[in-house]
Structures are given as structure tokens and as C-alpha cells.
Amino acid sequence: MRRFNTTGPCDPALHYMVPPLERLPEARTAVERGDYFVVHAPRQTGKTTTLRALARALTAEGTVAALHFSCETGEPAGDDYENAQQAILATLRGQARIQLPQELRPSEPWPPAPPLSLLSTALAEWARACPRRLALFFDEIDALRGESLRAVLRQLRDGFPDRPQAFPWSVALCGLRDVRDYRVASGSDPGRMGTSSPFNIKVSSPRLPDFIEAEVRSLYAQHTAETGQPFTEEALSRSFELSQGQPWLTNALAREIVEVLGVPLREPITREHVEQAREQLILARATHLDSLVARLREPRVRRVLEPVLAGEVIASDTYDDDVSYVHDLGLIAPDNPVRIANPIYREVIVRVLASAVEGNVQADPRSFVDPEGRLDLRRILTEFAAFWREHGEVLAAGMPYHEVAPQLVLMAYLQRVVNGGGQIDREYGVGRGRIDLCIRWPYRAPDGSRAVQREGIELKVWTAGKPDPLARGLEQLEGYLEQLGLDHGVLAVFDRRPEALPIEERTRFEDARTPGHGYAVTVLRG
């Protein structure tokens, strides 16, 4: 039986797959035109699978000799461009033995050449000897750094006019970033990229897209066709909602359900199974998620994500470059407004940023559950207020995203308490001016039926030169409570003004009402 794949390239004999050649039709067109181009996309989106399939198809059609290979072997060489080129050429030859028939492979050994032209000399000789035009796909090109990357790009650019008789007809550079960021990897100032490029012969720069909903459904339908196990309509919709078609997440959710949760094949896969898989993926923080969160402390990433978390607008003289970079990493959605790419990333980012605080929370989650099995939210807030008075300033000062530190501390505290049996849904984004939280806590109702307690909380910050956000917060909270179908809520307002009272004096509770419907609101000042 085939499986949902979450590690490495997909194999149609082993894995359920979205047809790879349909995902990037521009690449075939570029090769047919003899273009030099860039393919970029975040990690674990199917770049390697797509390019390998394209190389096989083009070679089988008999018009070109197409080869896909990785430049990762050159990464350890750093600035040693001679060793980096030798590593790449060794990988290229090894893959040619696997992917190409004898008559299309390069001759052995590679011709002698000066260190700065090892690659171009080898490719030129191969192009002259090969009975077909060459199409080469340099995967993981951005694994190269400094002088090694520059040496490779310069040689490809210099050989470009000699194609196809004496240089490869078409070249694709494939990696995490678009070509505009290659200047950074090759040692240029990341603050201002400018417009010049060490690979200015590229014609296009297609980005491998995420799956659309129809493709997610088609992928899951392959499992149903092979096993007879259906996905309910709610499960299919929720899976796409959580993943937004990100290929690794799409496969990981299904794999978690089928292999880890082990839902029997005789049972349909439901929305509840998808929710369980979501939570386990977030808690496990698999390699793919860890590779993303490792970027959160990068200045370029922080300049984009901090205002997204705080609900403020992004104001920076490097705005376009920063947003494009974070988009290339896959952390934000491809269209405006700027927002986190999908709900799973949104949750992982907050939990990672708040994880250090959560480890300092000593509260026992069971102590906040009343005899009826419901959460005692007022007691949680009272305990948090005491925690905030004692530790708030120290913890907030140590947070990597200073502008959103108080909100992260409260979210960490709530996560520690709720994680034992419920979940927290979060909504935040550029220009919202707030963070909205919905606590969902399952419990057993008096009649024995299962029920879900919901609590709506809004977080705001009072900053220097701004009026008290209480009135605006009550108005916004009212809209959120209407959305949730609740008639009560909590508004937390953190005072970050230099002239604010000491934390011991300003941390208190107030009662208020929303301006329209008069919903009861507990206001926590901090």
C-alpha cells in the first residue's frame, strides 16, 4: 500500500502524489525555449519531486538530455570554490550514471581546468560531445555560500552565450530563495539588496505553488481508492483550512491520522481525527516545522512577524525585501494582507516564541477545573495577575519579540493551563490592533452529554502617545463575541508606556460592558 510521504522526494510507486508535471508547467516551457531560470519555493513543497519528474519526462521524449542533481555536497566547502566545484561535478556525474543512458553521459574524466573555471570547462565539453541539447537542474543551489556560489553563478553566466553547441541549452537554479537573495548568500549586504544580480541572465523565476483544495482532495482520494477508507466532507475541508495546501502539512496531517493515530480502515476519517493530528504535529514539531521556527530570530523575519503578531502595520525601509524573503521561507501567505501562511504555522510560531515562559509557569492545570468539569476562567486570570505582578517585567524583557512580549506571556500562561484538555484558537494579523483568543474546553454536561465551553479573550497594548485602548477594545471585543456567539468576554490591556504605574499598582481587574449589546466584560489591566 502506498503512503503519505513527509520525507524526501515522492515516488509514484510508494507514495500518494499530486501529478508533479502539472504543478509547474512554466518549467517545461522555459526548457523548450532554452531559458536560464530560477525555481524557488519553501522547503518541503515538492521542488525536487517536480524537477526530477520533469527531467525524466524530457529525456524520455528524446529532444534533450535533462539531468537533476543537488549542490548540497558543495556546502561544506564554504568559500573554497575549487572543492565546491569538484563536489558538484562528482554529484553531477553520479546522477548522470543513474538518470541518463550511456550515450548521453559526460565522458570521463572531466577535462583539466583552472580552479575558477572547473565547472564551465566540464559543462562546455559535455555540451559539445552530447548528441542532444543539455538541460541541467541545479537543485539546492542556495546551499552554496560566499565565493563558491559566486564562482558557480559567474561561470553559468559567462557560458550562456555559447549554448547550445558549447554550453548547456537550459539551466534551472532551484532553491529556497529567489535570485534576488543570492547576493545575500554570496556575501553582500542583506540590508539593501538593490537590483543587480550575479545571475542576471535568468528569464523567469517561477515559484512552486502550494496545493489548491481540489489537489488536496485528489491526494486524499487516492488513499480512499486504495484502502476504501473515506474522509468525511468536514475532514477534507478542515484539513485544507489548517494546511492551506502546504504540501508537507497536507501529507503530514493525513499520515498522522493513518499511521500514528492508526484509525482503523473500516472507520471514516473525521474532523476530530484531523484536530488530533493537528495538535500532535504542533507538539511534536517535526523537522519541517523546526526548520521554520529556527528562522524566527533572524532580523529580517522579526521585522515582518513582530508587527503581524502585534496587529500593527509594517514600517521599514527594507519592507519589500523583508516581506519577499519571509514569503520565500513560506512563513507568510503569498497575497495581501500580510499574514501567517496557515493556522498550523500561526500556532507553532506563538508557542515557540512563548515556550520559555511556559516552562516557568508552575500552576497545576487541574486546579482550575471546577466540580462540573468546566474551566474557572476568573480564577485563571486571578492567578495570572499574581504571576504577572511577580514575574511579568523580567519575562517580558527576555522575550525575543519585545513589542508583543506581554501578549506572549499571557498566551504562554493560558497554554500551560489549557493544554491538559482543551485548545486555544488565535487570530492575529497586520493592522488588526489586537490578538483574539478563543479557549475551547470540552466537558461533560449535567445530562451526561459532551459539551464545549468557549471563552473569548482580546489582548491589546497601550503604547506611548496613544489614548487608552479600553473603549476601542470593548468595541472590537463585542464584534469578536458576536462571531463566537458569546455574551461575555475578557479584555486584557497591557500598559507599555514609559509613564505607566509600577506593575504592582497597575495590574488589577475592572468590570465593563460592550458599547452596543452591553455584553459583560472582565477587564484585566497589566
CA distance 10 to 54: 13
Per-residue pLDDT of the chain (526 residues; tens, 9 = 90+): 899 999 889 999 999 999 999 999 999 999 999 999 999 888 889 999 999 999 999 999 999 999 999 999 999 999 999 999 999 999 999 999 999 999 999 999 999 999 999 999 999 999 999 999 999 999 999 899 889 999 999 999 999 999 999 999 999 999 887 765 555 544 444 443 333 455 667 777 888 999 999 999 999 999 999 999 999 999 999 999 999 999 999 999 999 999 999 999 999 999 999 999 999 998 887 777 877 788 898 999 999 999 999 888 777 777 888 898 898 889 999 888 889 999 999 999 998 888 878 878 888 888 999 988 999 999 999 999 999 999 988 888 888 888 899 999 999 999 999 986 888 999 888 778 889 999 999 998 888 889 999 999 999 999 999 999 999 999 999 999 999 999 999 999 999 999 999 999 999 999 999 999 999 999 999 9
Task: Please measure the distance between the N-terminal and C-terminal CA atoms of the chain and give it in whole angstroms.
Answer: 56
Pairing of strands 64-70, 423-427: unpaired
Give the up-direction half-sphere exposure of residue 87: CA atoms within 13 A in the CB hemisphere: 20
Cell digits of residue 139: 537543485
Closest residue by Cα to residue 45 from 231, 326, 244: 244
User: How many other C-beta atoms can be found within 10 angstroms of the C-beta atom of residue 418?
Assistant: 20
Give the up-direction half-sphere exposure of residue 332: CA atoms within 13 A in the CB hemisphere: 28
Cell digits of residue 364: 497545576
CA distance 242 to 246: 9
Cell digits of residue 512: 465593563
- Decide if 343 contacts 397 (C-beta within 8 A): no
- Decide if 211 contacts 19 (C-beta within 8 A): no
Domain 213-284 class in CATH: mainly alpha
As a residue count, the chain comes to 526
In DSSP terms, 241 is beta-bridged to: none
Identity of the amino acid at 451: A
User: How many other C-beta atoms can be found within 10 angstroms of the C-beta atom of residue 437?
Assistant: 23
Domain-by-domain residue ranges, the chain?
A: 20-185, 213-284, 354-525
- Decide if 106 contacts 99 (C-beta within 8 A): no
pLDDT of residue 44: 86
- Does residue 189 sit in helix, strand or coil? coil
**Region for residue 518 given its phi and psi (left: phi exceeds 0; alpha: psi -120 to 50; beta: otherwise):** left
- Decide if 438 contacts 294 (C-beta within 8 A): no
163-168-171 Cα angle (round to 5): 115
Closest residue by Cα to residue 172 from 50, 16, 77: 50
Fold of the CATH domain 20-185: Rossmann fold (3.40.50)
Cα–chain center distance at 51: 21
Task: Report the sign of the C-alpha dihedral through residues 21, 25, 26, 29, in that order.
Answer: positive
CA distance 161 to 178: 23
CA distance 49 to 58: 14
Pairing of strands 64-70, 488-495: unpaired
DSSP string, 449-477: -EEEEEEEEEEEEE-TTS--THHHHHHHH
pLDDT of residue 182: 58
Give the up-direction half-sphere exposure of residue 313: CA atoms within 13 A in the CB hemisphere: 2
